[in-house]
Amino acid sequence: MMLLRIAFRNLWLHKVKTLIVGAMLFFGTLLVVLGGAAVSALEESMAKSVVNAVSGHVQIQAADAQDEITLFDFDNSSKDFGHIKDFPKVKAALEALPSVKTVVPMGVNFAVVFTGNVLDKKLTELREALRDGKTERSVALKDHIRRIVADLEKDLKNLRDIANMDKVMLEMKTNFEALAEARKDAFWEKLDREPESAIEFLENKVAPIAIGEDLIGLQYLGTDTARYQQTFDRFEIVKGTMIPAGQRGFVFNNRAYEDWVKNKTARRLDKIKERLDNGETIAECEDCQTWTKQNQKQAALLVYQMDKEHEAAVRSALVKLLGDDQKTTTELLQSLLDVNDSNFGERHAFFYDAVAPHIDLYTIKIGDTLVLTAYGKSGFMRKVPVKVYGTFNFKSLEKSFLAGAYSVMDLMTFRDLYGFMTDERKKENETLKAKVQVKDVSRDKAEDELFGADAGAGVESAASATFDETAGVDMHAAGEKYTDEMLARKYSQQEIDDGVVINAAVMLKDGVDIETARQEIEATGQAQNLGIKAVHWQKSAGLVGNLVRVISIVLVVAIFIIFVVALVIINNSLVMATLERTREIGTMRAIGAGRGTVMWMFMVESLTLAALFGTAGALTGATTVLVAGQVGVPAWSDFAYFLFAGPRLFPTLHAVHVIVAFVVIGLVGLLSTLYPALLATRIAPVVAMQKDD
């Protein structure tokens, strides 16, 4: 008690030193509480986002896989994750565990989509209009297609003026000859007589050299879509609908859909608006200025999409807005797209009201059937048609560049792209073989079977014979019918579970420790010979999981560095204060105080300071965390949005944060006092008493 009274007296007498050291201890405690709460909040928010969006608490895969599953890496196509050999058995065994809530089959891969160019789309529309007997629409489309062909020839002539076309002409001679043929009046007369033949000619010979086709790369997740939607609450449909349960289908990640499928001019305008909504200005935003220039340069591409009727409507609206009827439609669009801070709001709204309805705002529309192209595990390229049902977001990850490219498809389509020959596919092939009377032929008899028994003399006759395997067959109609039947088919739960499964997400029940459950899953796999291994979500999340660790480490290291600096400053302050108190210490030693007493006096002073200012810092930090937990900390950028798992971070106060703060600040106080205290105990009474002489 005596030492405590002395400590309070000394702290009061040396107010400047007390305030300097106390301020350091106050802010140190505050920093530990806030930093601890921030790290915990980030870990919890990221875990909630990733676990409830894609990974589950635990990922399982084949035990003999060459590569460990990583869900958020940029390219998994070259990795071998193996495949779970008997998923129904694995699913039943794991869902029987008391800690497991559900198991969702999955697979990840990469595919590309060719969006097709304007000419491709208009030819498809023309075929449909002719088939449906829409004469007026057919006439308008033929006129538009003819104008596209003329523009294409003009563009190629301009290209010849600035480039050496010899090599290009040599490689694409057939296409250029077809383009010249399509410019003749006789061809368009033929189109009226034989529309299907003429349309196929344009599709196969002319459309490949038209502009506007995009190649989109898509990282996709194949899964049991019904179970996936029920299990992962971060998954939300933005446009359209979810894939019907048990059917084939595809839903785009909304970020990928907007970035890659939307008209580029419209998307650039959207990006400028996003910057302005975040408080930037076009005058200060270099990206905004670049996007504006690109939009002006590509105004002609908008007109390229319009037929005469649509162009006339757009032109009329532009003239009314801009008050200039002397410019071409392209020039008027260039003027419209010359945006600045004062006119952007009006022109952005005008674009969507008056221009967007007359162009293809999205190259792939919801409801379209797209063809995905991917390399299967057999090494061959595979193409699979699939219907687009809508777009979705992973809530809190919608702005993430890592999750933004992930789209979702059904397992049956995934398996077709993956190329693994399931029992179902084998049966389907056998059925088709029987239907078309295909039979196996040995290599040495192949020539006889193909050309007839008298192969030696039959080669010449066979060569002179004509054979058209598609004669009398409407290939387009047959293809559409096959695709429609495949996409309309509803698969049973057994069919969905029985095929190849690359990996699966395991969702645990509330309150279950993830690592304990992971070990239990692996033990079950070994005991029942399931051939699986279990991976913690943070490890399977790849880059995202590593990012959480890195941020935590950076925050801890930053706090450590700050405390080292504080330790040095406090130590220097106490050394100076000790030297100033030499006479006082000498007097205490002279009247009988031992070295231990002097040492404890300094230690009690330090602990008193830590208790007083540490408590104040802890209370301030706790109050700040509680308030922030109610109102949230706003995300200041897309990256912060991703880290916060949403627009705001809501930290929560845990007792461990306050306890750690007191322990750390107490250690800092004691360590910083240790040297000055030892220095004080070495002061001889005689020397101290002579100091002022």
DSSP 531-556: -EEEEEHHHHTTHHHHHHHHHHHHHH
**What is this structure's pTM?**
0.70
Percent of the chain with pLDDT over 90: 28
CA distance 152 to 206: 9
Which amino acid, 159?
L
Q: Are 236 and 398 in contact (CB under 8 A)?
A: no
pLDDT above 70: residue 497: yes
The pLDDT, as a whole number, for residue 231 is 93
Q: The tokens of 678 are what?
A: 């030892």
Q: pLDDT tens across 279-310, in order?
A: 899 999 999 999 999 999 889 889 888 888 89
Q: Are 41 and 649 in contact (CB under 8 A)?
A: yes
The pLDDT, as a whole number, for residue 362 is 92
How many other C-beta atoms lie within 10 A of the C-beta of residue 255?
A: 23
The pLDDT, as a whole number, for residue 70 is 81
Provide the β-strand partners of residue 216: 113
Q: pLDDT tens across 7-41, in order?
A: 555 655 556 566 667 777 787 778 778 877 877 88
Q: Are 339 and 272 in contact (CB under 8 A)?
A: yes
pLDDT band at 550 (very low <50, low <70, confident <90, very high): confident
Strongest mean pLDDT among 88-102, 112-126, 592-606? 88-102
Which amino acid, 372?
L
Closest among 38, 28, 33 to 658, alpha carbons compared: 33
Greater pLDDT, 595 or 269: 269
What's the CA angle centered on 569, arms 563 and 572, to 5 degrees? 140
Q: pLDDT tens across 161-177, in order?
A: 555 555 555 555 676 67
Burial label for 362, CB within 10 Å (0-12, 13-18, 19+), is buried
Kindly report the backbone phi and psi dihedral angles of residue 390, in degrees, each rounded to the nearest multiple of 5, phi listed first.
170, -165
Q: Are 102 and 526 in contact (CB under 8 A)?
A: no
